[in-house]
Amino acid sequence: MNSKGIHHITAIAGNPQTNIDFYEGILELKLIKKTVNFDDPGTYHFYFGDEVGRPGTILTFFPWGKNANKGRRGRGQVISLSFSVPSGSLKYWEERFKKFKVVFDGPYDRFGENVISIEDPDGIEIELIENGAEKSDTAIRGFKSATLSVESLAKSQSVLTGVLGFNLIGNEGSRYRFESEGSIGNNIDLIVSPDSFPGIMGAGAIHHIAFRAADRVHQHTISKLLMQINLRVTEVIDRKYFKSVYFREPNGILFEIATDLPGFLVDEKKEDLGKILQLPEWFESKRNVIEKSLQQLKEPSPERVYLLE
């Protein structure tokens, strides 16, 4: 009962408009769901992904707005996320980043693949990694991997290999790569850096990473294994598009186990995904108040991110 890999990654952003301008406008991801933070309905929750938001393609944000405190990436956090792009497509992305004034590093080699890295407007590190077959299109396919900064290799390894079914497949210096049996979002890199600064949660930091469970039974099996190694796991929480449990892995990073189903078509048709604000039924009666409290959004514009328009 192994996890197939990453289900979604959730980060904190500042301005919601800038967030949409960057991820839809520049990275050409699709906003597949516009909703609110179920634990704080005065804040948006954006989901970006492929055309239907398949597990392994979903990047989500809580844009905290003007009052967001600034985060800092560091030890005890997911410190970067990597998207898979078709082999040969990095030229396209370099040109695009130059056009819209996005500073990038690379390309450089990691485990035999070409990587370029950028920061989003809040400071989140994003990598594009060429892998798989050369294709005529250039679009991001979904996650390739995520990089976690940890104090102890063994502690996180106990969860990744002992519970989630990943295998350690190699290392480059202090970067250790784990792989699961899925076809997307199936790598986790641990960087062992016990002396580095601990991360601070806030805009520009990644809040948590979710791993895939096929269904509730699979999720329950994983929860039981986690409890057997004395980790505290939450109750099952209904996130409308999936069911979730949360725990802190032994190096302190917040992990979630999310079910593949029911998915993002549960309240909207494919062609309508992301168009209107979706609320869980327990907030519907407060829709007017909630909508008024949220910043109004314009159509995404790649030029607006670094004020080229």
Q: What is the DSSP letter of 265?
A: G
The size of the interface with Zn ion (CB under 5 A), counted in residues, is 3
- If one asks whether residue 256 binds Zn ion (CB under 5 A), the answer comes out as yes
Query: 201 with 5: CB under 8 angstroms?
Result: no
Nearest approach in angstroms of CB 234 to Zn ion is 12
- If the CB atoms of residues 21 and 256 are measured against Zn ion, the closer one turns out to be 256
Query: 246 with 234: CB under 8 angstroms?
Result: yes
Binding mask 10-29 for Zn ion (x = CB under 5 A): x-------------------
- If the CB atoms of residues 118 and 210 are measured against Zn ion, the closer one turns out to be 210
Query: 117 with 124: CB under 8 angstroms?
Result: no
* Long-range CB contacts (within 8 A, 24+) of 271-275: 273/30, 273/31, 273/32, 273/33, 273/51, 273/52, 273/53, 274/30, 274/31, 274/32, 274/33, 274/34, 274/47, 275/34
- If one asks whether residue 186 binds Zn ion (CB under 5 A), the answer comes out as no
Q: How far apart are CA 145 and CA 128, in angstroms?
A: 10
Helices (H) and strands (E) in the chain, counts: 7, 16
| Range in contact with Zn ion (rule: CB under 5 A) among 3-11, 35-43, 127-135, 175-183 | 3-11
Nearest approach in angstroms of CB 60 to Zn ion is 7
* Tokens coding 81: 């996320």
- If the CB atoms of residues 61 and 166 are measured against Zn ion, the closer one turns out to be 61
Q: Strands 206-213 and 6-13, how do they pair? A: antiparallel
- If one asks whether residue 253 binds Zn ion (CB under 5 A), the answer comes out as no
- If one asks whether residue 35 binds Zn ion (CB under 5 A), the answer comes out as no
Nearest approach in angstroms of CB 61 to Zn ion is 11
Nearest approach in angstroms of CB 255 to Zn ion is 10
Nearest approach in angstroms of CB 246 to Zn ion is 8
| Range in contact with Zn ion (rule: CB under 5 A) among 25-33, 38-46, 181-189, 250-258 | 250-258
| Range in contact with Zn ion (rule: CB under 5 A) among 16-24, 107-115, 146-154, 248-256 | 248-256
User: CB-based contacts of 212: which residues, under 8 Å, 6+ apart?
Assistant: 3, 4, 5, 6, 7, 55, 56, 182, 257, 258, 259, 260
Which of 210, 213, 233, 245 contacts Zn ion by CB under 5 A?
A: 210
- If one asks whether residue 212 binds Zn ion (CB under 5 A), the answer comes out as no
Residue 207: which of 78, 118, 119 has the closest Cα? 78
- If the CB atoms of residues 54 and 177 are measured against Zn ion, the closer one turns out to be 54
The contact set with Zn ion (CB under 5 A) reads 10, 210, 256
